[in-house]
Amino acid sequence: MNYYIVVEGETEIEVYKSWICSRNPGLSYVNSIEEIRDNHFFILSGKGYPQYFNMIEAGIEDVRQYPHINYLVAAVDSELLYCGFLLC
């Protein structure tokens, strides 16, 4: 399985990279989407709220271009999304 992960900011990249590798030793981190082959994950910073919405949209397009990516994961602060949807 291959994962494309969008996180909220820059710090989260290191946190998720470490966490995923420790919880899923069968997965390996790659630095670019072009490196994804088998059992890899790639993490992209969403550059904070509200920019991460654009990065999630870009991630959708990337996943369409690279059919060997099995999952697109968006990991953002839920309280921001909850409040954002409440106010919309």
Q: Which two tokens stand for residue 69?
A: 């990516």
Question: Range of 78's domain?
Answer: 3-87
pLDDT one-digit tens code per residue, 52-61? 899 999 999 9
Domains of the chain: total:
1
**For residue 40, which of 71, 73, 3 has the smallest C-alpha distance?**
3
Confidence of residue 79 (pLDDT cuts 50, 70, 90): low
Compute how many other C-beta atoms are within 10 angstroms of the C-beta atom of residue 52: 24
Confidence of residue 78 (pLDDT cuts 50, 70, 90): low
pLDDT one-digit tens code per residue, 5-43? 999 988 889 999 999 999 999 999 999 999 999 999 999
pLDDT at 83 over 60: no
